[in-house]
Structure 1
Amino acid sequence: MRDLGEQRPASQDEARLARRLARYLATWPAIDRQRWEQNCAPADPLDDPGYGSTLRLASRHKIARGYTYWLRFLDEAGWLDPAAPPGARISHARSAAWFRALMARGNAPFTIAGRFAELNLAIRVLAPEADRTCILQPNGASIRQRLFMDKRELLIPDARILYAEGLRLMGTAEQCRTRRKALLQFRDGLIFAVLSARARRLRTTAQTMATDNLHKVDGRYRIDYRPDQIKTARRDNVLLPARLTPFIDRYLGEIRPALLRGTDHGALWVGTLGKPLAEPGIEKLVRVRSKALLGVAIGPHRFRHALGTTAPLVNRTEPGLARAVLDISEAVAAEHYNRANAIIATEFFQAEMLAATQAANDHARLEKIRRRRE
């Protein structure tokens, strides 16, 4: 009998991740594999779950991949003792040596920081009791400090532009040369519109079911997500804009059935072969469409930044609007999503500059008139 908490691959993409994860684990020492399987096993609902048991398949795959790189480094340096526990293999000296090795290989700063982050999380899974200071701050300074890393400047488009592009894609779908291209353009346009209007996370978007989650109430569509479909594990009720109702009606009545090719699996978003459109598929279409629109490809998560920044600009009397729409905390909204304050400050500065320039021009004009009179 399968454990209730066991995670099974729900799509071909997850099955592929599971196979890759198994290949990584197969290269590990026995003690590492045993601890990983033990600490990532589903926890009893009445117990305090360990960190490993809370990880999704994609997260486990990413962490295991990074840890595999670490083990390879130790082996190449002659430091890998297969019988030693994972926590005993870390030290300030080894972290410094790994840092220098990654630099010598030409890895970018953000890649190096990512490798240390993956190692930190792997040790958190494999040896929860271990002191990870030598990973977080080798020899007293963080990796980011050593790399002099600043946050990357992100292109944050106006959510209204993204929404308008979604409407345009749907409105012009019939102009495509083939029926298949028309179906896909309409689907992509609706995804664009829904993401720009409500901006739910990629995993949640991919898990949306046409029958279980999507409901029409008083002429508007609402998506009701279960806690297991949401990162914060809370129910989420998303009311979609009324303007999208006729487009969703057409998608459900015409576009989606044509994409399904006769077999209905229940997923709202359908791929080119009639199967559920998984996370990589949504990521790809968003990047392709956004590059055609903006000249730069952006991913689905950037829609959350766009909405978090645009919402306060649209209604400046409601500073908490973005937080409510995105269903996130005020602190998270302020730190990661809302860049509207900088935009508003720039607008005020420009207005002040314009007013000062106009005043200076008026003063010069008055002075010129006065001198003429004299």
Structure 2
Amino acid sequence: MSLLRMSWQAALALILMIVALFNLPLVDQPVGLDAPATAMTTTFLAWLILMAAIGVDALPRPAITRAAALFVLTHLATYLLMTEIADGDGLDRLSFFLMIAASWLIAWRCVTLLSGIEVRTPFASALLRLLIPAIFGAWIVILWEAATRGAGIPFIILPPPSAIGVRIAGSVAILWADVQQTILKAVVFGYVVGCASGFVIAILADRISFLRRGLMPIGNLMSALPIVGVAPIMVMWFGFDWQSKAAVVIVMTFFPMLVNTVAGLSASGAMERDLMRSYASGYWQTLAKLRLPAAMPFIFNALKINSTLALIGAIVAEFFGTPIVGMGFRISTEIGRMNVDMVWAEIAVAALAGSVFYGIVALAERLTTFWHPSNRQG
């Protein structure tokens, strides 16, 4: 093993580990007169595992082997640290925070090694594309847990992810009812109607120049309307049920689709349009075979933007009046009761649903516009 082979992440982690050693209790504090005073602490065991991970990184082994070893050792040490802090032993201990920082650096090194691996099979490539962001996301949760419990942050300010997970597990029925009301009714209906109507009006605006010149400035104006001003009006017009929230979603998704589709229909080159005219193609033939395919990246860009806008619009609209169900209703009600873990549980479910929604649209884009340069693999 040579120190010259050590990465900068491992070198910095080694420095942190050495500093942590001077603050590390090597024995458990005796509880009674007959209690042993020489037992190795969990923190010291985690320290040894992290030192082994630093040593593995310097070994002349293939990147995939070192990455797998770093992954296992780092997360084992982190698990030991978290089990100790769950009992309150890690509070206000400098060695704990130094070792968490060292673990994060080694995990960073693991992701760096995984990113540099060249794979030849589609399955392995897809697995790496999922594994790398999964490790990154897991460490966001780990650092969140370590900060809230290790630093003693009050629960009312920021609950730890473990408490939020317990709340989610214990409130599945409530969360599912809220998802049905907000997402499966208001978001889905409003998203489909808003995007579809924006697409149809964009085709008409492209065909009729008067409509395009008159509608586009209004579209840009309507896109700047604040949702907190639109939502109460829609609630007054369409009532307190999900229909008013769907109306807000329609307003929010209509104009991004309109603007992007009109811009995309102008994306085809002059040479391609001249070629279609030389074949005596009419407007609708040119639209179907040239201009709409060229506009697909713009259309999917609007669909991806609207996938997040629709969820935000429906949740915010529920703040201004709704039946006793819905994600926005639950957030506004539980924050008034200081049940912040339930509020964060709703936020987590909304984030997961929005990510899945966005991922479905992105997958459809990749399958539809595989010919576009942005989707080509080098």
Q: Indicate whether the TM-score tops 0.5.
A: no
What TM-score, normalized to structure 2?
0.29
Q: Which has the larger radius of gyration?
A: 2
With the length of structure 1 as denominator, give the TM-score of the two structures: 0.29
Query: Higher RCO, 1 or 2 (CA under 8 Å, sep at least 6)?
Result: 2
Which is helix-richer, 1 or 2? Answer: 2
